[in-house]
Structure 1
Amino acid sequence: MNKFLYCTLVLLDISVKWTIQEAPSLKFPHYDPMTSRQLMCDQCPPGTYVKQNCTASSKTKCSPCPDQYYADDWNSNEECQYCNVVCNELQYEKVECSSTKNRICECVEGRYLELEFCLKHTACPPGFGVVQQGTPERNTVCESCPEGYFSNETSSKAACREHTNCSALGLKMAKKGNATCDNVCQEERTDKSDQQCEIDITLCEEAFFRFAAPTKVPPGWLDTLKDSLPGIKVSAEIVERIKQRHSSQEQTFQLLKLWKQKNKDHKNVIRGMDLCENSVLKQIGHLNITSEQLGILMENLPGKKVGKEETEHTLRMCKSRDQFLKLLNLWRIKNRDQDTIKGLTYGLKHLKAYHFPKTTIQGLRKVVKYLHSLTMYKLYQKLLLEMLGNQIPLVKVRRG
């Protein structure tokens, strides 16, 4: 025989013998009354029990555990154990009772087991963040936010967030944050930043322009409107293009938008809009929306998204109060003049999933309601009549 093959077989034989010697004994001692001798009987595998012990002439006889009974290990028991675990209120059955396992119960999502009760995970208050999320076996672990971090919400899942780095955004810190609020960043606008933060039409102007469209557009409405508007006129050629490209309800908005752009160097071309503009700016300024919150909000608007680079550029170039309005302006342009207020309303419905501050959501909803309030509709109607005078008697102005 080949020497190499012989050595291999010898080593294999030694390995098998060593493995057999190392294997745990799965036998149990049993006194045989027939022979008055102690025998070593085979144990029964998991899921079974000893139905009949071994004798000098026969092996152990095993039988499967009946329903609702189990054996989770090799054993010499003459009966299986009963599945005695019962799931209590606010628990669910994680592992069913089987022939090899007892039933396992676990607290439902958001709760943990303390003694025999499923208690709700602790929600960390503002100024504290989650360092270890709760599990079905343990409670949430909260710690106070360290220097440079904050939490402005009550949550059982949110960790402390790092303060916005104003300098990294090319901004100045207007107000230093603490454990419960973020840094407030802003920049003194230069002529260049003024131009880059310009908005073609404001939220108030957009609401006004959309209000101006009659519910039922009469024949010749767009031409009459073009001729009646003060200041620099929109050409007839452009009006025809608007008619071809846009629906009847959208045409009024498009004409007023182009007319505003042509007259942007003329101050107070829309007289009386200051009341609306100042109120909206004041409400938004009080919200102190962070750059992170702005990013989340813009991601939840429908349609095409404002790109990351455009967002970062806006945060660098615009004052904190103007950032939100500029980003909404960019969104409208990207989405071919879709209604900004409708887009914002859609986005606000999805912010709760991101642990967005309730006060911010409520504040933005107030802006939406304000722009569509009866008070503002009356103002829009007054402004429209003042702009057009008695030159359009055939048109009935739409009421809110």
Structure 2
Amino acid sequence: MTSVLPRTKVSDVLFSCCQLLDISVKWTIQYDSPPKYPHYDPGTSRQLLCDQCPPGSYVKQHCTATSPTQCAPCPDQYYAEEWNSNDECQYCSAVCKELQYVKQECTSTQNRVCECVEGRYLELEFCLKHTECPPGFGVAQPGTPESDAVCKKCPEGFFSNETSSKAACLKHTNCSALGFKIALKGNAVRDNVCQENTDTTPQKCGIDVTLCEEALFRFAVPTQLTPNWLNILADSLPGTKVSTENIERIKQRHSSQEQTFQLLKLWKQQNKEQDMVKKIIQDIDLCENSVLKHIGHPNLTFEHLNTLMASLPGKKVGKEDIERTMKLCQPTEQVLKLLNLWRIKNGDQDTIKGLMYGLKHLKTYHFPKRTIQSLKKVIKFLHRFTMYRLYQKLFLEMIGNQVKSVKVRCV
């Protein structure tokens, strides 16, 4: 009488056979002849050379004089990495340790692989944080899940002003290459501080972005900034490109809108000999002469300037800044410099809109009417539609098709 195996047992047997067949086929392709191991055969009292079992299996039955080695696949949660003559597979590691994650799950040929989470490395069974390099030091060798970060003192001409386990030393800004001069020399913890060359520019008190430049550059600021917008804009501008190093430095130091202004300012300086840029510089000069004509009154006192700054919304320009401005700047430049300081203090605020807000409140402070009228004329001039259309057309022609899909806005 023939016995019949239950269906579930038949399925298990078939599955095991298929696994073993798959393992055998894979390793037969790689090895012409399986490795051997010695085995004493008690039936014949002879020592035989039996075939080892391939990775993913173990020896279920040793070979005899008349039959080969019988291999069986490793059960679930067990593995065998090498050809072997073991009577059983190795058990996979139970769980990963604290602050580790499973990089590779357990298989029949590989143990479970655990790895420390981002920012940590394995040291004596513990996942320790990567060393943070202090200011003046940069990461010479980034940390990995297996090794710590290596710090190195910033060499001459490089700096790091942050505590970080990832940041390398940055090269000092080359002020002369950007058309500037060094106002304060950098060291291991500070970058060079650049200043416009006062021998060749009309702005002698450090106005980095003028009202006219802001009006022009604002056309290149999209309504919604994407993380890579600055790089897209830099790549799209013609002529000499702003270096990646300077782009990263701008991102670290300035707010989102200010980043665009600073990028375009550097690009304008680097390409001032190009015909199209010369045209833009000429238009900006004409604009600034008109603004100076309206706003350059030399008869404002400290109290007047302090009142004007107090009327603007947001963060205030302090009295010390006003006193310093009166010492460094010509009387005709003082209002423009203070408006520039207000814009920097208030990140993404529009200077013209801030000035419009302030003018509504100046009447209550007995502010000179002549100056109020002059400021209103400046606002009206900068809001002239024909001027904006010209600026927008010039910039969009330069930027080209690469960024036309990004919405730009008018002030």
Cα 1:39–1:188 shift into 2, 3 Å: closer
Secondary structure of residue in 1 paired with 2:173: coil
**Structure 1 counterpart of 2:210:** 199
CA-based RMSD of the aligned residues comes to 4.4
Give the one of 52, 64, 71 matched to 2:80: 71
Instruction: Report the more deviating stretch, 155-164 or 301-310.
Output: 301-310
Q: 1:32 aligns with which of 41, 45, 61?
A: 41
Q: Judge conservation of contact 1:299–1:305 (CA < 8 Å) in 2.
A: no
Partner of 2:361: 382
Please state how far the C-alpha of 1:172 moved relative to its aligned partner.
1.8
Q: Structure 2: how far apart are the matches of 1:93 and 1:40?
A: 39
* 1:296 maps onto 2:251 in alignment: yes
Please state if 1:313 is matched with 2:268: yes
2:28 is aligned to none
Q: CA deviation at 1:306?
A: 6.7
Deviation at 1:187, TM superposition (A): 3.2
Superposed counterparts of 1:355-366, under 5 Å:
366=345
Q: Does 1:367 align with 2:346?
A: yes
**Cα distance in 2 for residues equivalent to 1:300 and 1:371:** 13
Deviations 1:197-239 (A, max 9, x none): 8834598x9xxxxxxxxxxxxxxxxxxxxxxxxxxxxxxxxxx
Relative to structure 1, the CA distance from residue 53 to residue 369 in structure 2 (aligned partners, 3 Å threshold; closer, same or farther) is: closer
The letter of the residue matching 1:382 is H
TM-score, normalisation: structure 2: 0.49
> How far apart are residue 314 of structure 1 and its match?
3.7
Asked whether 1:163 is paired with 2:118, we answer no
Write the letter of the residue equivalent to 2:210: I
Cα distance in 2 between the residues matched to 1:303 and 1:164: 18
Match of 1:82 among 91, 94, 100: 91
Query: Is the 2:104–2:113 contact (alpha carbons within 8 Å) kept by the matching residues of 1?
Result: yes
User: Are residues 1:97 and 2:106 paired?
Assistant: yes
Give the 3 Å change call, closer, same or farther, for CA 95–190 of structure 1 in structure 2.
Answer: same
Q: What's the offset of the Cα at 1:128?
A: 0.7
Q: Could you say which residue in structure 2 is the equivalent of 1:115?
A: 124
Letter in 2 for 1:380: L
Q: CA deviation at 1:92?
A: 0.4
CA contact (8 A) 1:85 1:104 kept: no
Contact 2:255 2:348 in 1 (8 A): no
Corresponding residue for residue 50 of structure 1: 59
Q: Who is 1:230 aligned against? A: none
Q: Is the 8 A contact 1:169 1:315 kept in 2?
A: yes
Among residues 144, 152, 170, which one is paired with 1:143 in the alignment? 152
Return closer, same or farther for 1:297/1:84 CA change in 2, 3 Å cut-off.
closer
How many residue pairs get aligned? The number is: 240
Label 1:190 to 1:147 Cα distance change in 2 as closer, same or farther (>3 A).
Answer: closer
Instruction: In structure 1, list runs of 5 or more residues that go unmatched.
Output: 1-21, 206-289, 318-325, 330-344, 346-362, 389-400
Question: Of the candidates 160, 166, 174, which is equivalent to residue 183 of structure 2?
Answer: 174
Partners of 1:192 and 1:377 in 2: CA distance: 29
TM-score, scaled relative to structure 1: 0.50
User: 1:316-368: CA deviations, max 9, x gaps?
Assistant: 98xxxxxxxx9xx9xxxxxxxxxxxxxxx9xxxxxxxxxxxxxxxxx988424
The equivalent residue for 1:271 is: none
Distance, in Å, in 2 between the alignment partners of 1:364 and 1:115 is 53
